[in-house]
Amino acid sequence: MREKDCIFCKIIEGEIPSHTIYEDERFKVILDASPASKGHALILPKEHYADIYDIDEDTAACAMKLAKKLAAHMTEVLGCDGFNIVQNNHEIAGQTVFHFHMHLIPRYKEAKNADILQWSHETFSQEEMKAICESLKC
Ligand code: AMP
Ligand code: ZN
């Protein structure tokens, strides 16, 4: 089901042009328009899901299977030295397009922006770590 005013739904329907590298009944994979590196691509489910909370388990699992295949294919073709798979949810986490997508980001030893995805670290006491761990057990 498409969402009105969703840019990725419009790309999926062909209303907005994209560089499509893969397509099947469930997914379209396009090059990111503002790439972090050469070959940066986005896996888009054809159904509209806002984020990881909204998407069903089966589609999420299939998206990860596709990421696995494309990581191997893109690494072979591009000759990259590593690979990030990134998936942002909600504005605070960097999501800017609210149609679920997975970033496939090839990494190169010689790239100028080697700081993609670096973050500073927080420190928690052992007590805090225990409490966090207890609260998250499932
Ligand atoms: P996120 O910040 O995780 O929501 O990622 C959204 C991504 O979509 C960004 O990396 C944008 O560069 C990319 N993007 C936005 N509009 C387009 C478009 N029309 N074609 C391709 N990529 C796009
Ligand atoms: Zn959409």
Question: What number of other Cβ atoms are within 10 A of residue 80's Cβ?
Answer: 19
Of all protein residues, the one whose alpha carbon is nearest to atom 20 of ligand 1 is: 33
Task: State pTM to two decimals.
Answer: 0.96
Mean pLDDT computed over 72-97: 97
Nearby residues of 46 by Cβ (< 8 Å), 6 or more positions away? 12, 25, 26, 27, 28
Nearest-CA residue for atom 23 of ligand 1: 33
pLDDT above 80 (res 112): no
Overall average pLDDT of the 61-66 stretch: 98
Q: Report, as an integer, the average pLDDT of 130-135.
A: 98
H-only helix segments in the chain: 7-12, 57-78, 126-136
In sequence order, what are the beta bridge partners of 106? 83
In short, whether 85's Cβ falls inside 6 Å of ligand 1 is no
CB of 51 within 6 A of ligand 1: the answer is no
How many helical (H) and strand (E) elements, i.e. helices and strands, does the chain have?
Answer: 3, 5
pLDDT at 75: 98
The string over 100-133, giving b where at least 16 C-beta atoms fall within 10 Å of a residue's C-beta and e elsewhere, is bbbbbbbbbeeeeeeeeeeeeeeeeeeeeeeeee
Average pLDDT over residues 113-128: 90
Confidence bin at 114 (pLDDT 50/70/90) = confident
Confidence of residue 1 (pLDDT cuts 50, 70, 90): low
